[in-house]
């Protein structure tokens, strides 16, 4: 076996004779690593080391290339190609989250690998544009993700069936169901929900917030979703409570005004072109002086322009039509619709912990998922997705924020 070779910028990179140009380019880029430590086992079983000395960094990871295709794929289409080659089994790692952290931490140095060649990503960008969230497109996009089946999500979510960031209130050892309930209670509290209020939930999921709003806050709730699977589950869950759940687009809600509005991680599915319509709907449906609590994943302001000019693995494989706002653009869109941002609460570290627990449970339930009719390829897609998101929150390129919005009171006449 060839011994490990440590590489660094300015030093020639010795590679097997059969290494293609793409491999030489990608491994050359890895010589620029400034954060963390990466050991790569090549297809001929020789080893190369990049970045800090092994064990000297908190980010220490390794990657095994089973063939050269991951290098070609990454150069061609960035993170999408890299993910696709993982899904195909062309490379492996003992810790997918740590590997993705190293890639994200070295984003600038690895730009060609992270983003890929514009021509290689052209078809993906066109596909993303075709997934726009018109009324018809929204229903199709939501169906593609949320109608995979309630049994699928129940296999790895916790008993509360919350598919959004939990809030651990400073105790990351707290049971996940408790942390999920704390997140929901905070959203209702920030929206100012009290007994007798009419509450609207845009994107009601499996009914966790509607149930708490009715049962514990004494409110009457209207909730909308475009997922038939979620709707059936949520209706059964809230039977007997003052809850009206509908299969309806948020743009078609007409029974205003509501005393309060909650929307948990719905904005990400709206699509950038439709952010104005979303916030205008919140403004139209909320009573003057009323509050809305909108929880959303956000991408770092500094990454936003590059992000919206391309497309990524999650948009292609997980959330068609989706787009993360950045904090700057969220505030701008809300304020343009006449909504005042009165509170912001970020808890990205809690989302990383939530994702860690989901990922571990998903892997533990892999056999159950396969028994439901899903295949190994599907399983690897979701494993990559959960690890990819966890790493992004750990590296703070994404965050999750509960924004409290207030509709400005109507000024007195005269």
How high is the pLDDT of residue 143?
44
Domain boundary among 116, 148, 173: 116
Based on the fold, state whether residues 66 and 184 are members of the same structural domain: no
pTM over 0.85: yes
Based on the fold, state whether residues 108 and 152 are members of the same structural domain: no
Residue 155 lies in a domain: yes
Residue 414 lies in a domain: no
Residue 121 lies in a domain: no
Residue 213 lies in a domain: yes
Based on the fold, state whether residues 109 and 235 are members of the same structural domain: no
**C-alpha angle 126-385-61 in degrees, rounded to nearest 5:** 120
Residues 6 or more apart from 409 whose CB is under 8 A from it? 288, 289
Residue 175 lies in a domain: yes
Based on the fold, state whether residues 231 and 378 are members of the same structural domain: yes
How high is the pLDDT of residue 9?
47
Based on the fold, state whether residues 89 and 147 are members of the same structural domain: no
Catalytic residue among 262, 323, 326, 389: 389
How high is the pLDDT of residue 308?
87
Residue 123 lies in a domain: no
Domain boundary among 82, 116, 150: 116
User: pLDDT truncated to tens, each residue of the chain (414 aa)?
Assistant: 444 555 544 445 778 888 999 999 899 989 989 999 999 999 999 999 999 887 666 789 999 999 999 999 988 888 889 999 999 999 999 999 999 999 999 987 777 566 655 445 545 555 545 555 554 545 444 444 556 889 999 999 999 999 999 999 999 999 999 999 999 999 999 999 999 999 999 999 999 999 999 999 999 999 999 999 999 999 999 999 999 999 999 999 999 899 999 999 999 999 899 999 999 999 999 999 999 999 999 999 999 998 888 888 888 888 877 899 999 999 999 999 999 999 999 999 999 999 999 999 999 999 999 999 999 999 999 999 999 999 999 999 999 999 999 998 865 554
Based on the fold, state whether residues 152 and 30 are members of the same structural domain: no
Map residue 334 onto helix, strand or coil. helix
Based on the fold, state whether residues 57 and 151 are members of the same structural domain: no
Map residue 246 onto helix, strand or coil. strand
Based on the fold, state whether residues 183 and 249 are members of the same structural domain: yes
Based on the fold, state whether residues 110 and 156 are members of the same structural domain: no
- Where would I find the H helices in 47-159? 69-87, 96-105, 111-115, 118-130, 135-146, 150-154
Residue 389 annotated among the catalytic residues of the structure: yes
Based on the fold, state whether residues 358 and 209 are members of the same structural domain: yes
Based on the fold, state whether residues 254 and 353 are members of the same structural domain: yes
How high is the pLDDT of residue 6?
52
CA–CA distances in Å: residue 413 to residues 283, 407, 409, 410: 20, 18, 12, 9
Residue 200 token pair = 């609207």
Domain boundary among 53, 87, 116: 116
Residue for token pair 């000019």: 309
Residue 194 lies in a domain: yes
How high is the pLDDT of residue 118?
46
How many Å apart are CA 398 and CA 300, to the nearest integer? 6
- Asked whether 211 and 197 are in contact (CB, 8 A), the reply is no
Residue 129 lies in a domain: no
Q: Which of 312, 311, 307 is nearest to 328 (CA)?
A: 307
Based on the fold, state whether residues 216 and 78 are members of the same structural domain: no
Look up the domain containing 145 and give its range: 135-407
CATH number at residue 379: 3.40.50.150
How high is the pLDDT of residue 346?
98
User: How many domains does one find in the chain?
Assistant: 2
């Amino acid at each position: 076996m060839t011994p490990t070779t440590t590489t660094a910028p300015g030093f020639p990179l010795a590679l097997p004779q059969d290494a293609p140009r793409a491999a030489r380019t990608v491994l050359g880029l890895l010589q620029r690593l400034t954060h963390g430590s990466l050991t790569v086992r090549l297809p001929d079983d020789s080893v190369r080391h990049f970045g800090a000395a092994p064990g000297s960094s908190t980010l220490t990871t390794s990657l095994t290339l089973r063939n050269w295709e991951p290098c070609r794929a990454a150069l061609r289409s960035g993170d999408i190609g890299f993910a696709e080659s993982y899904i195909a089994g062309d490379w492996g790692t003992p810790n997918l989250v740590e590997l993705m952290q190293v890639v994200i931490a070295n984003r600038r140095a690895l730009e060609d690998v992270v983003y890929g060649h514009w021509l290689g990503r052209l078809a993906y960008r066109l596909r993303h544009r075709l997934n726009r969230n018109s009324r018809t497109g929204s229903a199709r996009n939501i169906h593609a993700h949320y109608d995979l089946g309630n049994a699928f999500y129940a296999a790895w979510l916790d008993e509360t069936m919350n598919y959004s960031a939990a809030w651990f209130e400073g105790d990351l050892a707290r049971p996940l169901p408790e942390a999920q309930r704390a997140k929901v209670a905070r959203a209702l509290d920030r929206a100012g929900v009290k007994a007798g209020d009419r509450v609207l939930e845009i994107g009601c999921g499996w009914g966790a917030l509607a149930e708490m709003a009715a049962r514990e806050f004494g409110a009457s709730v209207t909730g909308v979703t475009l997922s038939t699977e979620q709707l059936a589950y949520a209706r059964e869950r809230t039977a007997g409570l003052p809850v009206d759940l509908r299969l309806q687009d948020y743009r078609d809600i007409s029974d205003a005004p509501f005393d309060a509005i909650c929307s948990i991680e719905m904005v990400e599915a709206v699509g950038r072109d439709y952010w104005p319509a979303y916030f205008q709907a919140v403004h139209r449906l909320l009573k003057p002086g009323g509050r809305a609590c909108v929880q959303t994943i956000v991408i770092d302001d500094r990454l936003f322009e590059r992000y919206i000019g391309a497309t990524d693995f999650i948009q292609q494989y997980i959330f068609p039509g989706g787009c993360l706002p950045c904090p700057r653009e969220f505030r701008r869109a809300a304020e343009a619709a006449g909504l005042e941002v009165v509170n912001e609460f970020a808890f990205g570290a809690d989302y990383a912990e939530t994702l860690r627990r989901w990922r571990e449970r998903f892997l533990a339930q892999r056999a159950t998922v396969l028994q439901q009719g899903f295949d190994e390829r599907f399983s690897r897609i979701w494993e990559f997705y959960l690890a990819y998101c966890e790493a992004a929150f750990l590296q703070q390129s994404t965050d999750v924020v509960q924004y409290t919005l207030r509709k400005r009171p109507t000024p007195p006449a005269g």
